[in-house]
Structure formats: structure tokens, C-alpha cells
Structure 1
Amino acid sequence: MMGLFIGAVVLTIQFTRDWESGWVTANTSYKSFSSAMVKADIGLHIGLAGVNVTLVGNPVNQVNETINYNEHFAWSFDADYDHSYSEGLEKGLPSPILYVVEKFTTESPCNMHRQYRISGHYASITLWMALCTWLISILLFSMPILLYGGYMLLLTAALMLFSLLFFVTARNTPKCPIQFGPASLKTDYGGSFWLTLATGLLCLLLGLGVIILNSVRPQKLKLVFNLDEGKGEKAEGWDKPHLPDESSSSEQDVLMVPLNELCEVTTTQL
């Protein structure tokens, strides 16, 4: 169950969109070429492969419309972020969404697009590598080769922590302010970031625990993995010479037959 939890986390956080998120409530203009003002909650959610901008009216029904938007703009290497922004302009998306999305375009002086795109790309690569090392650790534990399985768990933890480090480099760079009148939209680390950190620390503790138990209490480690003593000795002692077992007492009893019961056997020379 622990292994399935770690694998599910490493796989799903690749596609989540809340590595960094923030909300602000503001009175802002609703659409271009319109003087209508609305009160809305504006959310910004940054993932490894793109950004989500949310606009929810407060209340939802204002200016004879239902204000409830959640738009995604991808910046992965196989996507064109600027083209998605142009499509949003053509569709006539609300001004708050276009204003936030414009901050991440390639032509913006904020230069946030390049920072988040590169850091998200390398973070994604290290997470895919962490998924591979996790699979190898599961195979090693099932063989069972417990010590090397612990080493692979440590490598999984290191890769997950490195992915966080890549993302933090973009998070700590100077950013352009996102202002809606007196209100400012500020972001902080989201749920996916903290879940990745917790899972990486869990892999680190499990890997260290396996390595320490293997050197201090190997029998306790076999008990944890539900290995009997014979199976563990078989896994550890492939290169030990095996001597023939001594004949059991039952076999000796079979060979000890009284002389008077022996049958006379005659041989003929050919």
C-alpha cells in the first residue's frame, strides 16, 4: 500500500496545476470596451506544464451573465502559449483573465514565461526519472533484494527533492506585480508542491530505514517484508556450497535388514 501511494503521487503530480496558487477578491472591469464593473474572485494556478486562471463572480450572476471561468494555457515544449493567448483574445475572454495571462507571454517584460517553462520542464523530467527508480525499487523488494531496494528508494527521494529545487528557482525570481486596483494577486506554494515534498521525505525515511535495518537487524527487516528465514537465506546465499545432507534415521532403519531375511541371489557368468 505504501508503494502504491508513492507511485500514484509521483505519477499524478506531473499533471496537476496547483504547484503554485493564489487568490484575490477585487472590483474590476469585466470585458474590454465596457464600463461594467464586477466583484469577483480571481485565482492563479501554476503547474509544470501551464497556467490556469480562474474567475468566479461574487455573486456568480452579475451583469446578466454567469461569471464562472477556468481557462488553461499550456507552455510545454509541444504547445504555443502565445497562440493560446491570441485565441483567448479572439474568444473575448474577460479582461481579468487576459490581464493575468498576458504577464506570462513571451513578449512580456516580466520574463516569467521562460523562467517557469524551463523550471517546469526540468522538474517534470526528474519526476519521470523518480517514477522509474520507484518501479525498480518495487521489483527489487519483490525479488527480494532488500538492500538495493532501499538504495533505489533513496534515489527516488533525491530525484523528487531535486524537482522541487528546480521549481523553487523560478518561484524565487523577481516577478511583475499583478494588480487589480488596490488589491494584489500573490501566489504561494500549492498542494502539489507540499505533497511532493512529503512524499520525497517519506521515500527518504523508508530508504534509510531499510538500509539501517539491513545492517543492524536483518531478521527484523525480513519480518517486516514477511520473509521466512529459509527464503531469506536462499536469496542471500546463492554462492554458498551445498553439502549433501546426512541420511535420516528413517533411511538408516530401512537399510538395516536382518541377515536371515536376505534372499540368496545366484549370478551366472556370461
Structure 2
Amino acid sequence: MGSKARQNTPEISIISEALFSLGRSEGFPSHYSENRTPVTIDVVEVGIIFSFACLSVCFAVILLPRYDRKPRIILVCRAVIGMIVSSILLTSNYGQNWEVGAITAIVPYKAGVPDEIKADIGIKIGLRSVNITLKSEGEDKGVGLKNEEINFNERFTWTWDQGRIGFGPFAGRLQQEFRAAQRRGLPIPILWLAEYFTIDGEGFRFGRFYRTAGWYAHIALWAAVPSWIMSNLLFLTVVRYGALWAVITGLLQLLACLIWVSVKNPIPLEVPYNTGDLVTFYGVDFWKTIFSGCLCIVLGVVVILCDLRFPDETTVFFSHDPLSEYEECHLDPEEVDLMRTKAAKQWEEVIRQRKREELIQMQPIDSTDLEMTSINLEEMGPTAMTPSYAISTPLPLPPTQLLLKRGTTVRRAQKGLIRTPAPVAPTNVPFYLSVQKDH
């Protein structure tokens, strides 16, 4: 076996050399020329969107095919809304579209090159950096630049130190990157636009103000991330607390937008060109942050109102046990008697009102008749129209001392704040009072 292996070794080496030299005439590994491609997408932003999209699809694929379709659909909708708000928080923080601007102008290309180009110049400002694009194709380029590929996308970051004035080793990161771009020989339109953010004096303090606004807006958005996580966790335990944290999340996002609008340079950024001025306006990251903030506030307020008005239905919607929202309270005999008296008075008033309506419907509509009806009702007294368990009548059963009480009830929350107390049906008597009606 060993001799056969030694005999096959030269054949294997010949085959490997033939495969290695396939398509190569040099006799050594091929060297390819540099392939300079423009940056067209933000890898971080696309990665965040892709990751949350994968999580949303996984939730839908895993949960929807099971039984109990309606609860599963509700759970998937809640998960998708949570993913959307989370992705907006992160993409807005790392995105480059808080302010954007674009213009087409005829500009010089590089130092030492006499030809001019007709190019599309764009600027995208984020919380931590600024992107400058320069693109020119076809006949828009000069005679000496026919074979030149002009498609640049350069980013200058300022996270987060302002640094000293100038371009030395102790200057800010933006100034140092601008000096490095000059050494690399970037096109003049990019350097000209980036220079607006490096000057720090008099009214030219765009870099300082944008950096400050981005820093505080970044803090507000990062504070909204754990707030939204806390909201989703509390929705699994106490619904009203989760709704409150959702409102806080929305307020933090709106605060970030307010900081960006108020802290940035009071003088708007206007860069003059021969065809007009390049002016910036609010981009998609700014508007989607406002949308997400308003969405969180509206959802939180709606859940709070539903928890106050329809507590049991809201608890079931969030997949909770309704009894978990109640607490057992043991009352003293005096407290039970007080509650019994109060409930009997309320019941008496309901019966009086109903009896009044019945008598009014039975008699002709006349002002004198209405007055007589009211007098007769007053003379009849409360005991004539109330059931046999009035205040003076002893209860047929001993009073129950166990009471189920909810943390937030519609009666407690609506007391002079939202609307009048919810009406009580005459046939429904609170079970914890042990009150029975004699037929």
C-alpha cells in the first residue's frame, strides 16, 4: 500500500499544478487592479433594519400556524409594533437623514485640473456625522475627465469632542478628518462643503452647534431605548405601568426632535453655488422619530383609558388572567355595614328614577301633570318604591367580609376627572355585599 501511495504522489501534484495554473499566464497568483466602488448604502442602518425584519418574520412564522388564531394574531401584532418602534429608535440614532440637501451645479473638480464638471452635490447630516456626495456622469464631465469615474460619498464624523481650534493633534475629530481628506486629494466641492463644519468662529459655527444638538438628541434617543424595553416587559405583568412607560418613550423621542430643532445653529446652512444655494431641510429620520413618538404616546394613552374603562377586556387582550389584577381585602363589620347602607341608598335612588320615568310615560305630557307627578312621588316616600332590602330591613345573609378590589377602577379614576361614573344596572347587585332581592 505504501509503494502505491508513493507512485500516485507525482500524479496528484501534476493535477494540482494544472488546476492552479488554469487561466493564469504569469505562473504565480494573479494580481487584480483596484476596484473602487462608491458607497451607496449605510451598512449599520441596513443591518439594524434587516435584523428586526428577521425577528418579525420569525415571530409571525412561529406563532401564526398554531391553534387559537385570534390570540396569536394579537400577539404577533404587538410584537411587530414593538419591533417597528425599536428599529426606528436605533436607525434614527445612527441614521444620516436628520437634515438633507442637494443641488446640481458646475464646479471645479480638483486642484491642478482646469476642467469643470456638472455634478450633483448632496449633503446628509446625522446626529454624529455628515455625509457629502459628489456624482457626475456622461457628458457632464470636462474633456480631460472622460475616463474619470466621479462618484464620491465621504463621511466626516464629530463624535463627540469639539477639540481645540485648528487642525493639530488636539483638534476635534472632524477637523482631523478634514485635514486627512485634503492630503488624500479629495475633490474641491467635497472639501468646500466640509469646510463649513470645521470653521468655529463668529456666525460660522455649524459644526459646533450640530455636534451639540446631535449629542443631546442622541442621549434622549438612547434613554428611549431602555424605556421602550421596560414598557414591553411591563405589558407582560402590569398593563397600566407598561402604558405609562410607552408614553415616556414617546415623550423622549419628541424631546430629541425638539433638541435638534432648538440647539442647532440659529443661522440656517446655505452654501452658495453658481446655480443657486444648497439649503438643508428635515429628512426622513427626523420625521419618523416624530411619528414614532406620537405613536407611542397615542398607544399609551389609549391603553390607559381602556384599562380604566374596560379593565377586564384590556387584561384579556394582553393575555393576562383577569383575577391577577384584583386583590383580596378583609373588611371590618363596621366597614361592611357602611358599604351596605351606601349601596342600599344608591339602589333606592335608581328605583325612584325608574319609577318616575314610568309614571311620566303613563300620564299625558303637561306641565301641571309633571308637577303633580313629582309631588306624588315625593309624598310616596322611598320605601314605597324600593325592594324589601332597604336600609331599615335586615339582611337575610350575614355580611361578607371578603372583598376583591382592583388597583385602578373606573369609578375611582372617573371621579370628577374623565366622565360621570359608569351606570349600574338595577338588576345587578354587587356580589360582595351579600344583598339579595325578594321577588
TM superposition score normalised by structure 2: 0.52
Q: Deviations over 1:157-186 (max 9, x none)?
A: 100000000111245610353112232111
Partner of 1:135: 229
Partner of 1:73: 156
> What is the Cα deviation at residue 190 of structure 1?
0.4
Taking a change above 3 Å as real, the CA distance of residues 196 and 59 of structure 1, as seen in their structure-2 partners, is farther
CA contact (8 A) 1:14 1:127 kept: yes
Partners of 2:154 and 2:263 lie apart in 1 by: 22
Partner of 1:201: 294
Report whether the alignment pairs 1:237 with 2:331: no
Partners of 1:176 and 1:212 lie apart in 2 by: 44
Q: Residue 185 of structure 2 aligns to which amino acid in structure 1?
A: G
Report whether the alignment pairs 1:212 with 2:305: yes
CA contact (8 A) 1:44 1:53 kept: yes
Taking a change above 3 Å as real, the CA distance of residues 237 and 127 of structure 1, as seen in their structure-2 partners, is same
CA contact (8 A) 1:6 1:199 kept: yes
Taking a change above 3 Å as real, the CA distance of residues 160 and 216 of structure 1, as seen in their structure-2 partners, is same
CA contact (8 A) 1:54 1:69 kept: yes
Report whether the alignment pairs 1:6 with 2:85: yes
Taking a change above 3 Å as real, the CA distance of residues 222 and 237 of structure 1, as seen in their structure-2 partners, is closer
> What is the Cα deviation at residue 71 of structure 1?
0.3
Q: Deviations over 1:95-126 (max 9, x none)?
A: 00000000001446511111100010000000
CA contact (8 A) 2:251 2:293 kept: yes
CA contact (8 A) 2:107 2:116 kept: yes
Structure 1 residue ranges, 4+ long, deviating more than 6 angstroms after superposition: none
CA contact (8 A) 1:41 1:58 kept: no
Taking a change above 3 Å as real, the CA distance of residues 31 and 170 of structure 1, as seen in their structure-2 partners, is farther
CA contact (8 A) 2:118 2:140 kept: no
Partners of 1:158 and 1:216 lie apart in 2 by: 24
Higher relative contact order (CA 8 A, sep 6+): 1
Q: Secondary structure at the match of 1:33?
A: coil
Taking a change above 3 Å as real, the CA distance of residues 168 and 35 of structure 1, as seen in their structure-2 partners, is same
> What is the Cα deviation at residue 14 of structure 1?
1.0
CA contact (8 A) 2:128 2:215 kept: yes
Partners of 1:60 and 1:69 lie apart in 2 by: 18
Taking a change above 3 Å as real, the CA distance of residues 237 and 97 of structure 1, as seen in their structure-2 partners, is same
Partner of 2:186: 93
Bigger Cα displacement from structure 2, 155-164 vs 217-226: 217-226
* Larger strand percent: 1
CA contact (8 A) 1:24 1:43 kept: yes
Report whether the alignment pairs 1:148 with 2:227: no
Q: Deviations over 1:68-106 (max 9, x none)?
A: 000000011166110000001000000000000000014
CA contact (8 A) 1:40 1:57 kept: yes
Partner of 1:57: 136
Report whether the alignment pairs 1:27 with 2:116: no
Partners of 2:184 and 2:196 lie apart in 1 by: 19
Q: Secondary structure at the match of 2:94?
A: coil
> What is the Cα deviation at residue 239 of structure 1?
5.0
What is the root-mean-square deviation in Å for CA atoms of aligned residues?
A: 2.0
Partner of 2:116: 37
Q: Residue 105 of structure 1 aligns to which amino acid in structure 2?
A: T
Partners of 1:3 and 1:67 lie apart in 2 by: 42
Bigger Cα displacement from structure 2, 56-65 vs 25-34: 56-65
Q: How many residues are matched?
A: 238
Partner of 1:261: none
Partner of 1:256: none
Taking a change above 3 Å as real, the CA distance of residues 171 and 189 of structure 1, as seen in their structure-2 partners, is farther
Partners of 2:329 and 2:86 lie apart in 1 by: 36
Partners of 1:27 and 1:104 lie apart in 2 by: 22
Q: Residue 141 of structure 1 aligns to which amino acid in structure 2?
A: F
> What is the Cα deviation at residue 60 of structure 1?
8.6
Bigger Cα displacement from structure 2, 75-84 vs 105-114: 105-114
Q: Secondary structure at the match of 1:142?
A: coil
Taking a change above 3 Å as real, the CA distance of residues 8 and 84 of structure 1, as seen in their structure-2 partners, is same
Partner of 1:262: none
Report whether the alignment pairs 1:226 with 2:349: no
Report whether the alignment pairs 1:83 with 2:165: no
Partners of 1:61 and 1:27 lie apart in 2 by: 9
Identical columns (%): 34
Partners of 1:66 and 1:157 lie apart in 2 by: 45
Structure 1 unmatched ranges of 5 or more: 244-270
> What is the Cα deviation at residue 17 of structure 1?
0.6
Partner of 1:187: 280
